[in-house]
Chain A
Amino acid sequence: MPNDKNSQKIVDIIKNAARKHSLFVLAYGTGCGAIEIPPTMTSRYDAERFGIRGMATPRQADVLLVTGYLATKTLKRVIRAYEQMQDPKYVIGFGSCTINGGMYWDSYNTIKLLDKYIPVDVYINGCMPRPEAVITGFIELQKLIAEGKADGATKYKENLDWYRANQKKVIKNWNMPDYNW
């Protein structure tokens, strides 16, 4: 592969175009938003038209869809799943409760701001968001990918210490491996 700047740009464009049309979503229903995923994926709304489909394991998935509020117990598993995912990886925050706590703003067991713990590329608001909104969110993510702006994973690597400090503030017993890139 030639190493000059222009050809690298062309490679990036082709790469991003390919990436945006095969978004494998990790099948992890973290909150109540998981109920709108089956309609989105099945016959009526058929998200596979856009190259969006489910994937069972984190290592083969591209998109982590955080469907709603995260209890602290789930946050630990979500971080684990996110760190197991391989680049390129993107995060979509789904529902009002990932944005500002939503109706659980005074709950003692759910986090309020998802982007303090893992980098979020796209937020979809609503309680709960309709399948059309979910698809719109994915299209928004595809646009960001095509422009090369969906760089949450890079941000996470660069600011790992800051994210880790926030995560450890909530997760009191950190008994899992500290990935270090």
Chain B
Amino acid sequence: MREKATTLYLGPQHPGITGNMMIKLKVEGDTVVKAQTHVGYLHRGFEKLMERRNWLQSFTIVCRICVPEPDPNELNYSRAVEEIEGREVPERAEWIRTLMMELSRLASYLLWFGGQNGSAGLYTMPQWSVGDRDYILDLFEELTGGRVYHMYIWPGGVRRDLPNGFTDRVLQTMDYLEKRLKQYDQLMFENTIFQRRAQGIGWIDPAKAVEWGVVGPPLRAAGFKSDVRIDDPYLIYDQLDFEVPTQQGSDVWARALVRRTEFQQSINMVRQIIDKMPGGPVYNKIPNPMKWTIPAGDAYVKAESARGEFGYYVVSDGSNKPRRVHVKGPAYVHGVTLLENILEGANISDVSFIMNSLGTCPPEIER
């Protein structure tokens, strides 16, 4: 019997989809012939909102752009403003910012551990890793007052200094996570089900990866030593000792291994940061926010988030409001062109699995 192609709509209301987006799949049997992503279900017009808010008011809404990992947004916005204005940041603030970035990377990877396994039908892992993520969120809450949205890294430094005994609690959490990581290994990487599911699935052609705009862990899993923290050093990453892990497989398995190695590295980096952190002020005071103007100019800054390169293009026309803040999330390419491309030929049951391995996050596609 000849197989006829049918159209399947994956999402926007679907438990397997990451976030709120839709993939229109044309399938023959169980195989995807053509995939087309539809985004825009989360569009809030952030860039328009920022035209109406002054520089400090804009800072409070940038973190809402990406939910799983809001800190790179705050950091990028602050760095862009500082670069245009030429504002100095105290050294201790740079170290605290780096600490925040690494903690948020850990939190984001823990969520990813859960999502990746949940989409393979291994439901123990989400219970563990999302529960463990809360210990990091507790640290954030103690430091900033917010679990998810922190609004902590702002132009000129950070909002407040570390509370008493905070570093000890961070180190305790790191010890705990390192211990848990061994159990994660047993549950995930030594698990035959996961191995068979992940190996050889969602292959990205390494010859095309750079040109297609792949960034972050998927690019490193394709064998490229590419990391913004090394390529375009920001904060104090050049003073930390870490390596960029790479893999050759370029499939879901390789991407999982890259993230697993980076998780361990982030724990080590947090320890180094706490070990070496200097004292001093944490905030370089800005003038009255209502009258605060930034000289005309533009800046493109980028940071390595858990999913890849996060870029901010900020333009000022010399007034007290931003002219344009344009956000480039890593999922912008991963979620649309790349996903459409590598889903061709995949099994339907792997679609959500592949999506999770790319770390597709719709809110930063449409903003």
Q: Are the C-beta atoms of A32 and B49 separated by less than 8 Å?
A: no
Q: Which of A9-17, A68-76, A148-156 contacts B (4 or more CB under 8 A)?
A: A68-76
Residues of chain B within 8 A of A43, CB atoms compared: 127-128, 130-131
The reply to whether B130 and A34 form a contact with Cβ atoms under 8 Å apart is: no
- Asked whether B149 is an interface residue with its Cβ less than 8 Å from the other chain, the reply is yes
Q: How many residues of A contact B (CB 8 A)?
A: 34
Within 8 A of B (CB), among A37-68: 38-39, 42-44, 54, 56, 58
Assuming the contacts A43-B127, A103-B61, asked whether A108 and B67 have C-beta atoms less than 8 A apart, the reply is: no
**Chain B positions within 8 Å of A77 at CB level:** 12-13, 41
Count contacts on B: residues with CB < 8 A to the other chain: 34
Query: What residues on B are CB-neighbors of A28 within 8 Å?
Result: 12-13, 20
Q: Are A56 and B15 in contact (CB under 8 A)?
A: yes
* B44 neighbours in A (Cβ, 8 Å): 69, 71, 104, 107, 109-110
User: CA A54 – CA B130 in complex, angstroms?
Assistant: 16
How far apart are A74's CB and chain B's nearest CB, in angstroms?
5
Give the Cβ gap from A112 to chain B, nearest Cβ, in Å: 12
Chain A residues, Cβ within 8 Å of B40: 71, 73
Which B positions have Cβ atoms within 8 angstroms of A? 12-15, 19-20, 40-45, 48-49, 52, 60-61, 64, 67-68, 111, 114, 126-128, 130-131, 133-134, 137, 147-149, 363
Given contacts A35-B148, A39-B130, A42-B131, contact A109 B45 (CB under 8 A): yes
Q: Does the CB pair A36–B48 fall under 8 Å? A: no
- Known A-B contacts A29-B19, A32-B64, A38-B114; the reply to A108 vs B45 at CB < 8 A is yes
Residues in A neighbouring B64, C-beta threshold 8 A: 32, 103
Minimum distance in angstroms from A122 CB to a CB of chain B: 21
Q: Is there an interface contact between A29 and B134, defined as CB atoms closer than 8 Å? A: no
Contact of A32 among B43, B111, B363 (CB under 8 A): B363
A106-B68 contact, Cβ under 8 Å, with A74-B41, A130-B147: no
Q: Give chain A's interface residues, CB within 8 Å of chain B.
A: 26-32, 34-36, 38-39, 42-44, 54, 56, 58, 69, 71, 73-74, 77, 81, 103-104, 106-110, 127-128, 130
CA gap between A71 and B60 in the complex, in Å: 20
Given A42-B131, A106-B52: A71 in contact with B42 (beta carbons within 8 A): yes
The answer to whether residues A30 and B20 also contact, given A69-B44, A71-B44, A73-B43 and a CB cut-off of 8 A, is yes
CB pair B12 A74 closer than 8 Å = yes
Which residues on B sit within 8 Å (CB–CB) of A127?
149
